[in-house]
A and B are shown apart, each in its own frame.
Chain A
Amino acid sequence: NAGVTQTPKFQVLKTGQSMTLQCAQDMNHEYMSWYRQDPGMGLRLIHYSVGAGITDQGEVPNGYNVSRSTTEDFPLRLLSAAPSQTSVYFCASSYLDSRALHFGNGTRLTVT
């Protein structure tokens, strides 16, 4: 009964490095999304997907790419990390007709 699994839990990058944050869910949810959470800013939507092969931008998409090749997986790619991307990243999923999101435990990313 894993739910939404995010890896890694922590990551430190140098400016300009790239990396992929992994997200997998085992609930057969159509909807998957990535949020970032910064102090005083709340949760902000980066990208989301309503099914395999379909992705769309959220409120703060710049600097991030996503793809959805399967229902289960929704990786988030940082192509060239910047200090402004230091944040806690949450992946969340739900059925398409529900907004009762199930969140992963988050990835704390620091870019130096």
Chain B
Amino acid sequence: EDKVVQSPLSLVVHEGDTVTLNCSYEVTNFRSLLWYKQEKKAPTFLFMLTSSGIEKKSGRLSSILDKKELFSILNITATQTGDSAVYLCAVDVSGAGSYQLTFGKGTKLSVIP
């Protein structure tokens, strides 16, 4: 059974702090790993990672994948209250004839002023 495990499940930080969110996986067929941000409603796409060691960056957010150790991290520097959300990690486990993402349970980040 494919597994995607995120940690911590929840996190409270002060504005300006730097946070690291973790995602580990055990899957039979890995194609890519994706990060999404979910505020009140729909998840929105952040990053897709396919190769180990190559950092993806967007503003204060960055992410990296380690395919040997089977994990990814999402870093957020100089956090703001607008970063408060649930961050979802998903692994593309698509194989021959199937197209599926397996999601972790998410990390709820709360940034307080």
Is B42 touching A48 in the complex (CB atoms < 8 A)?
no
- Looking at B36, B45, B99, B105, the one whose CB has the most chain A CB atoms below 10 A away is B99
Is A42 touching B88 in the complex (CB atoms < 8 A)?
yes
- Cβ–Cβ < 8 Å partners of A22 in chain B: none
Is A99 touching B103 in the complex (CB atoms < 8 A)?
no
Is B99 touching A31 in the complex (CB atoms < 8 A)?
yes
Is A42 touching B103 in the complex (CB atoms < 8 A)?
yes
- Cβ–Cβ < 8 Å partners of A44 in chain B: 103
- Cβ–Cβ < 8 Å partners of A45 in chain B: 100-101
Identify whether the interface residues of B are mostly helix, strand, loop, or mixed.
strand
Is B42 touching A42 in the complex (CB atoms < 8 A)?
no
A103, CB-defined interface residue at 8 Å: yes
A100, CB-defined interface residue at 8 Å: yes
Q: How far is the CA of A105 from the CA of B97 in the complex (A)?
A: 28
11 A-B interface contacts by CB (under 8 A): A4-B42, A31-B99, A42-B103, A42-B104, A43-B103, A45-B100, A58-B100, A59-B102, A96-B99, A101-B43, A102-B45
